[in-house]
Amino acid sequence: MTGLLQSACILLLQGPEQIPIRPPAASSIAEGVDRLHFFLTGITLFFTALIFAIIFYFMVKYRRRSEDERPPEIEGSLPLEITWTLIPTLLAAVVFIWSSSLYFRNSRPPAASTEIVGVGKQWMWHLQHPEGVREINELHVPVDVPVKLTMTSEDVIHDFYIPAFRVKKDVLPGRYSSLWFQATKTGTYHLFCAQYCGADHAEMIGWVYVMTPTDYAAWLSGGARNESMAQAGEKLFNRLGCVTCHVADGTGRGPSLVGLYGKPEKLRTGEMRVVDETLIRQAIVFPNSVVLPNFPPIMPTFQGQINEEQVLQLIAYVKSLGQEERQTKAK
C-alpha cells in the first residue's frame, strides 16, 4: 500500500510528462534500431487491439441469452487456418529480414576505427586508449568517429551496455569480445553492466562522454603524461624477460614476433590459426596449447603474474611489431 501512496504522490507532484518515452539516440545505428522497434510496437499494439476488439465484439454479440441455446456447429475452416498461418509468417519474414540486415550491416566495425580496450572486473570498468590514457567507469570518445572496443573480463561475465548507442556485448573471461559504435551527438550517456555479476552489479555503471574532436584531443593530452599502450607493452616485454627468447631477428629460442600479427600460422597440432588477440592471449596464459612446430614447448605460463590489462598492453606491443612493414605492403 505504501507503493500506491508513493506512486500517487509522485504522479501528482511531477505529472505524467515526467515519464520519458524514448531513450536518447546518440549513435549511427540508434535511429535504425528505433525504427524497427516502433514498427514492432505498432504490430504488437495492432494485433493486441484487434484480438481484444474481436473478443469484446463476440462477447457482446454472442452472449448467452438462454441456457437452452444451441450454437451452430462449426468445425473449422482450412482457408482461414491457411490465412492466419500465412499472415504471421509473412510478417515474421519481413521483420526477420529487416532486423537481420540491420544487424549484419552493423556487425563489423569500419576499418579505420579508433581502438580502445576495456577490462571488466567486479565491479568496475577499466578502459584504456591507444595513446595510453586510462579511465575507470568513464569513457571519453570523439563524436562522428567509429570506435572499436575490445574487451575481456578479469573474473565473471559482465556486459558492456550503452543504451543511448543501442549497443551491448557480453564481456567474458578468457576471451575477447568487441563492439563498435559511432557516436553522433555530443553529450553524456549511461554506461551499464547488463549481465548480473555479483553483489555490486548495480554499481558497475559509469558515463560515456561524447566530445567534439578538438575537445577530445585536448582531453587526451590534458591528463598526466602517459606512455602509449604499445610502449607500456614493450616495457613489460622486457621486464618479464619475453625478449630473451623472442628475439627480433629470429635467433632466439622462441619465434620472432615481428610481423606475426594477422598472419595464419600452422601449429604443432596441425591446426591453422590466425595470430590475433585471442591467440596471443592464449600463448601467454596457456603457452603449451599453441606451440609452433619448429620450437620446443619451453615457454612458462604467465597466468597469475600479469593482469588482463597488461596482457592487452603486450598484445598492443606485438601488434606494433612490424607494423610499418605491414603498412608499406598494403600500399
Partner 1 sequence: MSTPGPNDHDVPAESRVNYLNASYGIRSWLLTTDHKRIALLYLASITLMFFVGGAFAVLMRIHLIEPQGALVEPETYNKLFTMHGVVMIFFFLIPSIPATLGNFLVPMMIGARDLAFPKLNLLSWYIFIVGAIFTLYAAVTGGIDTGWTFYTPYSSTYAHTQVVPVALGVFITGFSSILTGLNFVVTIHKMRAPGLTWFRLPLFIWAIYATSIIFILGTPVLAITIFLLGLERLLHVGIFDPAIGGDPLLFQHMFWFYSHPAVYIMILPGMGVMSELITCFSKKRIFGYSFVGFSSMAIAVISFLVWGHHMFVTGQSIYAGLIFSVLSFLVAIPSAVKVFNWTATLYKGSISYQAPMLYALGFIGLFTMGGLTGLFLASLATDVHLNGTYFIVAHFHYIMVGGAVMAYLGGIHFWWPKITGRLYPDGWARFAALIIFVGFNLTFFPQFMMGYLGMPRRYAVYPAEFQVLNVMSSAGASILGIGYLIPLVYFIWSMRYGPVAGPNPWGAKGLEWETPSPPPTENFEEIPVVTEEAYDYANPHPGVARG
Q: Which is nearer to partner 1, 123 or 317 (CB)?
A: 123
CA distance to 20, 41, 47, 169, per residue, from 36 (Å):
19, 8, 17, 20
Interacting residue with partner 1 among 161, 180, 209, 302 (CB under 8 A): 161
Q: Which is nearer to partner 1, 76 or 270 (CB)?
A: 76
> d(Cα 329, Cα 331) in Å, to the nearest integer?
5
Cβ distance 209 to 139 under 8 Å?
yes
Q: Does 12 bind partner 1 (CB under 8 A)?
A: no
From 31, 138, 144, 200, residue interacting with partner 1 (rule: CB under 8 A): 200
Pick the stretch among 20-28, 133-141, 233-241, 323-331 that binds partner 1 (CB under 8 A): 20-28
What is the Cα gyration radius of the chain?
28
Report if residue 329 touches partner 1, rule: CB under 8 A: no
Binders in 230-269 for partner 1, by CB under 8 A: none
52 near partner 1, judged by CB under 8 A = yes
Q: How far is the CB of 7 from partner 1 (least distance, A)?
A: 4
Contact 287, 300 (CB under 8 A): yes
* 3-class secondary-structure state, position 325: helix
Indicate the DSSP class of residue 16.
G
In angstroms, give the least distance from the CB of 149 to partner 1. 12
Q: What distance in Å separates the CA atoms of residue 190 and residue 126, rounded to the nearest whole number?
A: 16
By CB under 8 A, residue 55 contacts partner 1: yes
- Residues 109-128 touching partner 1, rule: CB under 8 A, are 122
Q: Please give the C-alpha separations between residue 168 and each of 162, 179, 183, 215, 306, in angstroms, as whole numbers.
A: 7, 7, 14, 26, 27
User: Which window, 64-72, 138-146, 291-299, 318-326, contacts partner 1 (CB under 8 A)?
Assistant: 64-72
Judged by beta carbon, residue 183 or residue 232, the one nearer partner 1 is 183
Candidates 28, 113, 137, 177: give the one binding partner 1 (CB under 8 A).
177
3-state secondary structure of 20: coil
Answer whether 153's CB lies under 8 Å from 177's CB: no
CA separation for the pair 14, 18 (Å, rounded): 6
Residues binding partner 1: number (CB under 8 A): 98
- Which listed range, 104-112, 131-139, 253-261, 312-320, lies at the site for partner 1 (CB under 8 A)? 104-112
**Smallest gap, in angstroms, from Cβ of residue 155 to partner 1?**
6
